[in-house]
Amino acid sequence: MISLYKKQRESVWIIIKNTSKYLSFTFNIKQYNMILSIIIVIVNSMNSSTIFCPKGCATKCLTNNTCGRCMVGYDNDNSCMTCEWYNRNLHMTSVYIKKDTKCTRFNSLILKDSWLPPEKFITEIKIDEKVVFDIDESSDIDTSFCYYKDRYRFGKWFKLLYNIKNSSHILFEFSQLNVDKSLVNIDVTNSLKKQRGDCYAHTTSESKTNSKQLYVPVFSPYNNDPKRNTEDFYFYIFIHLGQLSKAKIELKTQVQNSRIFPPRFNLTLKDTMYLSEHPGKFILWNVPFEEHGAFAQPICFPTYRMKYIAFDIEFVETGKLVIDATGSGKMNNLQEYDIVNGDKTTLKCIQSWSGRRHGVFSENEKAGAFVSISANEKVKRHFAFISENQRINFVVKFYVICHENCNYKHGFGTCLPTIGKCKCIKGYGGSNCHKLCYYDNTWQISPNDNLCFFGSERCNEYCRCEEGTVLVNHRCLSKECARGEIGINDECYPNSEGCTPTCKCDSSRGFYMSSTKRCLSKLCGNGKKNTYYDYNGNIIRTEECDNGTNCQKDCRCIDGFITDPKSENDCIHKGLSVDFTIFVVIVSCVFVPAFVMAFAMLIFFITRYKKTNIEVFKEQQPTYYFYISGSINKKLANESLYFIDPITLDFGNGTEATEINDTHFQQIQVKNKSRNKYMMVIFHTPNTPKYVFHFDPQVVIMRPRASSCVTCYMTLYCTTKLRGMKIPYTVWFSKSKIIFSEIALLLKDKTFETWTNVQQKKLEKISKTVHNRFHHYLTISTDAASSTHIDMDELSISEKPIAEGAMGRVYMGSYRSVAVAVKQFRWEKLDEDEVAELKKNVVAECEMMAKLRNPFIASYIGSVTYIPQVSMVIQFFILGSLGEYLRQEKEDYVKMPYKLKVRMLFDTSRGMQFLHENRIMHLDLKPDNLLVNSLDCNSACTIKITDFGTSRFKKKSITNSEDKGLGTPIYAAPETFKDEYTFAGDVYSFAITAWELYYQVEPYAQLKSIFDIKRHVEEGKRLSFDQNIPPLYRKLVEECWRADPKDRPNFDKVTAKLVKVDEEDSQQFYLNIQNEMDNLNLIIEKRSERVKRSLHEIS
């Protein structure tokens, strides 16, 4: 750590911190300016402490993503990243929507009591009718029956009465008439008004698309009612903008009887021939499934109505064409169909493939169709990708494997589509199991003069060199390598150490390419001298050294050095020649006297130099009673009897804040201007654990007309108000020097509370020889830097805790107008060393947490560690913890909608995924440690994780009456009962939390004690399920609480699985309770009022 402090007049002091020692140097101003510019660059690069402050913050951020107040229009959760949540109970037509990254108020929200708006907002259209309309910022705002992350959209509603029989599809065709195209979404449903609005069909129009066609299959909402299945019904259409812009749209509708829709991609005969002729090559198709997919009842999946996209393939080759749609991991299916006699309404299913994986290894395999097809009598074949997910976009890879069917009919090999190549018998290989030209170091064909060794660099399967290479001794070399030079794609110079004849480093012998294009051995650096061999088994060389002194990266000694016989890994100077030795002796005789003198002077200066132990200046100094009775409070003037300069101290940080835990100093010139009196100056230092001002010396006694230098050291232990603080001093004049020592001794260690009348009378008696007394103060003109070290005096805390646990109590508080939660750790039973260890751990943890930026992690404001009552301060959440909503005995209990539960688990998993990526275990994951940021499943973030890692602060020596181990036993993994803590333990805790969130009852409520729970879990038993729980939800929980930690999925996989659980939600609508959103709104209002009252009482 380097700190710079500007001095008055002509010099500058620099402190260089090295552990607990400080060295000081003095430079003139010119030298200072040059050094300053260099050091600032270094310091700025080393100490970047930029706080990330969201755009929605109305006040300065206290820490990353956390400020005191959000701007109007933002969720006032102190992170200020999302627009204000709309409360339907207020029945307001205004809503905040992001415009150019800023939340902006719009006043055209449609008020409605169901998924459909009132009739006056819906325009009826007819078959074969054309309508033209505009959508812009003045349009109505509403929510769609299809899910969008940003719920509120500018759009327009339509309805289409379907009263035509015997048609298969309705074709919606729309075009953008404006020049600058916008992102437009089209959602269609056939749901009845009194039902739930289902997302029946969805498509989107990309910005560059002029027109769009959406095929929607005709399916009556009365289909299951025999009495009404012939009735007319409405299609409802909501067309809306994907982003704030303007769009002029033309919409037309017509009846479509054909079940054949145009293919969106054609893999031609030319394409497949190219793939056959170039093994290893592939063709990619970015499937525009969301935009160009049609809706129908696929011929191979006749009981489903799904979205699909058609494509054609022309293939006549003898190999297998692979259709791989697993790259994105999105679930999709594939069907092959045929058109019967050219009839546009009659299709025939040839075969179908599911993209869902099954079996033991299904977890490690990506979802999606993976198919290999062989050529048949038809040149052009028809295929379609099918999915229930209307919004997926994925990439398909086409390539040919097993050319000529691996010559299976000749017995040379078989095709293995799962690994994408042939399995050939000995002596045969390549893409089609042909007889290899070179096998087992033997040529199998002749002549072979113009062939390369099969398997060598740049040599193809037919022993021919790749284009752009040169054949030399049956090897393929770059043109540069053949000339003894090095090419762009070469790794080393030919004939150099570890380099093969093809200018590649010999990896089989442990060589790799360095940044300088030399081959280095992996053995170099292992601390042992090794011998290198070439590919023929011949010795190349033995290392001269290895990872030692004067040893280079290639394990050779530096020029002029040889292997040290006493330490074979090091190198020493070579021996000197006789002539050079004589020359050294002669020169030494001449210069030895001068050298001795210089050495003596060096010893002299070294003995005078004293290292300063900076720890001394971090200690509080004695308190001297501030006796000012009869003293004159006088600023310095020319006629003053004394001189003190400077009296305003900035410690070199006049314009910048002073970092916490750094020690800074500034020198003060003190001068006695009296001609015949001694002078004593006492600096009355403040006595507080928040900071230390240490004066060296604290008491100065000076003869007449003498001057002295006092150094003031400042160490800050928290972010506190510092600028403008006064440090008083008293000045005493007397002709007797001895009396000052007696006065100082009497005032020492005395305060206003401990000063007695007896001491007062004694001071008055001995002060009779004191002729003049003055007092004034030094003023601090620097600020404490923002940090995670908080001043306890700036915290307002509630009297009663809002939560209590084994490790401490949690209080509601306020810090710089921000609502916070203050966790005070229990320290009463800790000894001095354990308190110090607790402080160290809390500070380290808080600094680490402050650096973590993630929307699913609660923002840590800081900690209070300069007093025995160690506290941690985090962002306060009005909605409290998830645990407050799950039990019926809780005041805020509410039956949560299933979709909200899944979203909460998803956000929790993403937060845990982030923690584990940063190698942080939570150790106590449970609903009480999941803070609720929002109760809206469409919110950007519903859950923020807190208290991760803090269970490690628990006292190590636990009494017999206390439970041993980290975390909460109900949620603890079985291995933690044996004090084994892993990342998989958090996954187990997540499973128990997921079970509790679904059923909203206490886990293991039927068991009587913690010991019963431990026994239950260790015996392999788990919590039970009923028949109503969705299958994928249950499967995820069961996987996460497996007995063996190695069998549990990590949070990467848990997050991916929750995406599938959420997709399953569309089939679990019976678990969503319609009126619960209103109950949630009431709870939000009630809690908000409660918190406001509490904060008012605290302040």
- The CATH number of whichever domain residue 1040 belongs to comes to 1.10.510.10
pTM of the model: 0.60
Task: Answer yes or no: do 211 and 177 share one domain.
Answer: yes
H or E stretch including 1051?
helix 1051-1064
Residue 969, SS3 per DSSP:
helix
Nearest to residue 183, comparing CAs of 141, 243, 139? Answer: 243
For residues 491-513, give the mean pLDDT. Answer: 89
Reported as a single tens digit per residue, the pLDDT across 733-755 is: 999 888 999 999 999 999 989 99
DSSP 8-class letter at 1035: H
Reported as a single tens digit per residue, the pLDDT across 438-479 is: 999 899 988 888 999 998 888 988 999 998 899 999 999 999
Reported as a single tens digit per residue, the pLDDT across 1005-1044 is: 998 888 899 999 999 999 999 998 999 999 999 999 999 9
Task: Answer yes or no: do 228 and 252 share one domain.
Answer: yes
The residue that leads in pLDDT, 205 or 491, is: 491
- Helix and strand element counts for the chain (H, E): 14, 60
d(C-alpha 70, C-alpha 62), whole Å: 13
Reported as a single tens digit per residue, the pLDDT across 931-969 is: 998 888 877 789 999 887 554 544 443 333 344 444 578
pLDDT category of residue 42 using cuts at 50, 70 and 90: very low
511 within a domain of the structure (yes/no): no
CATH of the domain at 378: 2.60.120.1050
What single-letter amino acid sits at 338? D
Task: Answer yes or no: do 675 and 757 share one domain.
Answer: yes
Q: Quote the pLDDT of residue 877.
A: 87
Q: Quote the pLDDT of residue 86.
A: 74
H or E stretch including 862?
strand 860-864
In the structure encoding, which two tokens stand for residue 1071, read together?
């678990």
CATH of the domain at 641: 2.60.40.10
Reported as a single tens digit per residue, the pLDDT across 389-401 is: 888 889 999 999 9
What single-letter amino acid sits at 449? D
Sequence-separated (6 or more) residues with CB below 8 Å from residue 1095: 812, 814, 819
Instruction: Give the percent of the chain with pLDDT over 70.
Output: 86
Is a pLDDT exceeding 90 seen at residue 780? yes
Task: Answer yes or no: do 632 and 726 share one domain.
Answer: yes
155 within a domain of the structure (yes/no): yes
- Domain-ending residue, one of 379, 401, 423: 401
Angle at 850 between CA 845 and CA 854, to 5 degrees: 115
In the chain, how long is the greatest CA-to-CA distance? Answer: 127
d(C-alpha 172, C-alpha 187), whole Å: 11
Q: Quote the pLDDT of residue 142.
A: 94
Q: Quote the pLDDT of residue 1077.
A: 59
Sequence-separated (6 or more) residues with CB below 8 Å from residue 140: 108, 109, 110, 117, 121, 154, 155, 156, 157
Beta bridge partners of 395: 286
718 within a domain of the structure (yes/no): yes
For residues 540-565, give the mean pLDDT. Answer: 90
Q: Quote the pLDDT of residue 17.
A: 37
- Domain-ending residue, one of 755, 780, 805: 780
- Alpha-carbon radius of gyration of the chain: 40
7 CA to centre of own chain: 43
Is a pLDDT exceeding 50 seen at residue 2? no
C-beta of residue 190 within 8 angstroms of C-beta of residue 220:
yes
DSSP 8-class letter at 622: P
817 within a domain of the structure (yes/no): no
Task: Answer yes or no: do 626 and 698 share one domain.
Answer: yes
For residues 498-517, give the mean pLDDT. Answer: 88
Task: Answer yes or no: do 622 and 753 share one domain.
Answer: yes
Is a pLDDT exceeding 50 seen at residue 136? yes
Nearest to residue 557, comparing CAs of 530, 548, 517, 520? Answer: 548
Residue 302, SS3 per DSSP:
coil
Written as one string, the DSSP assignment of 90-156 is G--S-EEEEETTEEEEE--BPP-SSSSPPGGGEEEE-TT-EEEEEESTTSEEE--SS--SS--EEEE
d(C-alpha 132, C-alpha 15), whole Å: 75
| Average pLDDT over all residues of the chain | 83
Reported as a single tens digit per residue, the pLDDT across 243-289 is: 888 899 999 999 887 777 889 999 999 999 999 888 889 999 999 99
pLDDT category of residue 508 using cuts at 50, 70 and 90: confident
Q: Do the strands 726-734 and 770-780 form a parallel or antiparallel pair, or are they unpaired?
A: antiparallel
Reported as a single tens digit per residue, the pLDDT across 171-190 is: 899 888 887 888 899 999 99
pLDDT category of residue 875 using cuts at 50, 70 and 90: confident
Query: Is residue 619 packed enough to be buried (19+ CB in 10 Å), middle (13-18) or exposed (0-12)?
Result: exposed
| Tokens 């107040």 sit on residue | 69
Task: Answer yes or no: do 923 and 1040 share one domain.
Answer: yes
Task: Answer yes or no: do 1063 and 1002 share one domain.
Answer: yes
C-beta of residue 746 within 8 angstroms of C-beta of residue 763:
yes
Instruction: Give the percent of the chain with pLDDT over 90.
Output: 37
Is a pLDDT exceeding 70 seen at residue 39? no
pLDDT category of residue 876 using cuts at 50, 70 and 90: confident
682 within a domain of the structure (yes/no): yes
For residues 403-427, give the mean pLDDT. Answer: 89
Nearest to residue 519, comparing CAs of 495, 550, 544, 484? Answer: 495
CATH of the domain at 187: 2.60.120.380
467 within a domain of the structure (yes/no): no
Task: Answer yes or no: do 1047 and 1004 share one domain.
Answer: yes
pLDDT category of residue 329 using cuts at 50, 70 and 90: confident
d(C-alpha 680, C-alpha 706), whole Å: 12
Q: Quote the pLDDT of residue 1016.
A: 93
C-beta of residue 628 within 8 angstroms of C-beta of residue 634:
no
Task: Answer yes or no: do 1026 and 887 share one domain.
Answer: yes
Q: Quote the pLDDT of residue 1085.
A: 77
pLDDT category of residue 726 using cuts at 50, 70 and 90: very high
H or E stretch including 645?
strand 642-645
pLDDT category of residue 494 using cuts at 50, 70 and 90: confident
Three-class DSSP labels, 654-687? CCCCECCCCEEEEEEEEEECCCCCEEEEEECCCC
959 within a domain of the structure (yes/no): yes
H or E stretch including 988?
helix 983-999
d(C-alpha 268, C-alpha 827), whole Å: 76
179-193, 623-637, 689-703, 1082-1096: range with lowest mean pLDDT: 1082-1096
Domain count, the chain: 5
* Structural domain boundaries, residue 8: 2-46
Q: Quote the pLDDT of residue 207.
A: 54
Q: Quote the pLDDT of residue 5.
A: 39
Q: Quote the pLDDT of residue 748.
A: 93
Beta bridge partners of 499: 505
d(C-alpha 903, C-alpha 1030), whole Å: 15
Written as one string, the DSSP assignment of 357-370 is --STTGGGS--S-E
| Tokens 């016989």 sit on residue | 565
- Assign residue 317 a region (left: φ > 0; alpha: ψ between -120 and 50; beta: otherwise): beta
Reported as a single tens digit per residue, the pLDDT across 286-321 is: 999 988 888 888 889 888 888 989 999 999 878 899
Task: Answer yes or no: do 125 and 151 share one domain.
Answer: yes
842 within a domain of the structure (yes/no): no
Task: Answer yes or no: do 939 and 1042 share one domain.
Answer: yes
Reported as a single tens digit per residue, the pLDDT across 67-96 is: 777 888 887 767 788 888 776 666 788 999
